[in-house]
Amino acid sequence: MNSGALPSPANLTLRDTVTADDVTVVRQLVASTGFFSAGEVEVAVELVTERLHRGPESGYLFLFGDCDGHPVGYVCYGPIACTVGSFDLYWIVTRQDRRHAGIGTFLLYESERRMAATGGRAVYVETSSRPQYEPTRRFYERRGYRQAALLPDFYAPGDGKVIFAKNLLSRPASPAP
Amino acid sequence: MNSGALPSPANLTLRDTVTADDVTVVRQLVASTGFFSAGEVEVAVELVTERLHRGPESGYLFLFGDCDGHPVGYVCYGPIACTVGSFDLYWIVTRQDRRHAGIGTFLLYESERRMAATGGRAVYVETSSRPQYEPTRRFYERRGYRQAALLPDFYAPGDGKVIFAKNLLSRPASPAP
């Protein structure tokens, strides 16, 4: 868990505004991974269009990472309705040719920092129990998430849903200023 | 689990169309219970407006129970995006002065029947772990739901989320015709 500023990957700039161009940006970023089905890509895109139509009231907050003016990753998260301080992490994607450079970790920690700064107590993320998602599950586990639930066969027969949770309050003491 | 027709409570007629009037219908039904917060009432209403704007594509299916032309309860459910045959039960409400007459049970079983008829394998419902919700949890447990997960402090400190699941495939053999 980061507390305060974290060194950013080289040349990465953050942007939390969302424009109509981001419909294409998100579609291309998600599709670049080769990991998600066409239906899943459309769900990711749907969250952008929801946000464009309804603004932050949609509950979908975005953080884009740009390198030299080109989007290389994004995270979509938001407060969960009817909860006090619980957030969902809906999507986190790094462009396929920019993986393993710390971009996803940076986007994750920065979104957690922003959640905590607006009263976030915990963040939840859902993923698949399939072997293909083992690296995804490791990604979260290594960043302070623990498995909170497993719903077998949720996505499809043999494809369960794993819910990970991270406590945003149990952060280490801040470094001296 | 019902299989096929179930005797309907006296004078109850079902309706799965949604009109603009149902914004008020849902608000009044949910508020009548005295059980939900103002914010929760608005979330219930939001699902109706979503449905009115986007049609069944919204993923929100409704089943209203009317007695003598007056709405006395409703259930809102729908297929979960990116799953094969998983459904969410979002809301089930009986008007306060018509409780304990089997209306909720009838609406629940009828919605389950419709889910199963369109490929539903399982239905999930989320509720609170607070003592106030003990009757709600018993309602589901007595109708074939089992606790699949508990996320402590999800809704608020001391207010966890319980996820119940019911398998729609393990129905008893249909009675002889």
Q: What is the mean pLDDT of residues B25-47?
A: 94
A174 touches chain B (CB under 8 A): no
* Residues B146-170: tens digit of each pLDDT: 999 999 999 999 999 999 999 999 7
- Per-residue model confidence (pLDDT) at position B11: 85
pLDDT at B76 over 80: yes
Name the residue among B110, B31, B32 with its Cα closest to residue B77: B110
* Total Cβ atoms within 10 A of residue A110: 20
In the Cβ-directed half-sphere of A126, how many Cα atoms lie within 13 Å?
A: 14
Kindly state the average pLDDT of the residues B117-140: 97
Q: Which residue of A has its CA nearest to B162?
A: A149
The answer to which of A6-15, A152-161, B72-81 has the lowest mean pLDDT is A6-15
In terms of pLDDT, which residue wins out, B170 or A160?
Answer: A160
- Two tokens, residue B50: 């979503």
Name the least confident of A137-151, B7-21, B135-149.
Answer: B7-21
Q: Where are the domains positioned within chain B?
A: 12-120, 125-169
**CB pair distance less than 8 Å for B157 and A121:** yes
Average pLDDT, chain A: 91
- Domain A13-76+93-120 CATH assignment equals 3.40.630.30: yes
**Can you read off the two tokens belonging to residue A20?**
């109509």
Q: List the single residue in A with minimal CA-CA distance to B120.
A: A156
Size of interface A-B (CB pairs under 8 A): 59
Q: Which among A84, A153, A165 is the nearest to B156, CB-wise?
A: A84
Assess contact for B124 and B148: CB atoms under 8 A: yes
Averaged pLDDT for residues A66-81: 95
| CATH code of domain B12-120 | 3.40.630.30
Please indicate whether, in this complex, the C-beta atoms of B83 and A43 are within 8 angstroms of each other.
no
Give residue B6's pLDDT band: very low, low, confident or very high (50, 70, 90).
low
Nearest CA in chain A to B87: A154
Instruction: List C-alpha distances in Å: B139 to B93, B103, B120.
Output: 12, 12, 21
Q: Cα distance from B10 to chain A (closest Cα, Å)?
A: 35
Cβ-based burial of B7 (10 A; exposed 0-12, middle 13-18, buried ≥19): exposed
| Confidence grade of residue B177 (pLDDT, cut at 50, 70, 90) | very low
Of B171, B168, B58, nearest to B120 by C-alpha is B168
> How many Å apart are CA A12 and CA A28, to the nearest integer?
18
Q: Which two tokens stand for residue B38?
A: 């103002």
ipTM beyond cut 0.85: yes
Return the bridge partners of B91, or none.
Answer: B76
Query: Which residues from B are below 8 Å from A150, CB to CB?
Result: 149
On the question of pLDDT at A148 being above 60, the answer is: yes
Tell whether the model's pLDDT for residue A177 goes beyond 60.
no
Closest by Cα among A140, A57, A50, A128 to A92: A140
Give the bridge partners for B128, in sequence order: B161
pLDDT category at A7 given cuts 50, 70, 90 is low
